[in-house]
Amino acid sequence: MLQKTYFKTKDYAKVKFSLNLENAETIEILGLNSDWENSIIMSKKKDGSFSAEVSLPKNTQHQFKYRVNASEWINEPQADGELTNEFGGSNSLIVID
């Protein structure tokens, strides 16, 4: 799930990423700000769900994917869209207005 919070006086939005997957030990976000090397590690909560908050600049678009247990790549079901990637699959798209 994606939850965007906009601030009138700031040039960025805060985005909360939330995901609940069975058998997930770790979940990372890759691709934000075109950074596919350095992941954002999501925090695991007591109920088994994962979340992370990230600030992203306004008027931008970002492709990203989740990496589960360091091996499985999945998209965000509630993303603003999907774009084809160079590997024949797709990436999630988030749009920050």
Asked if 56 contacts 62 with a C-beta cutoff of 8 angstroms, the reply is yes
Cβ 41 vs Cβ 17: under 8 Å: no
Domains plus CATH for the chain?
Answer: 2-96 (2.60.40.10)
pTM: 0.95
Average pLDDT over residues 12-19: 98
Nearest to 31 by CA among 83, 88, 97: 83
Question: Per residue in 30-71, pLDDT tens?
Answer: 999 999 999 999 999 999 999 999 999 999 999 999 999 999
Distance in angstroms (rounded) separating the CA atoms of residues 68 and 41: 10
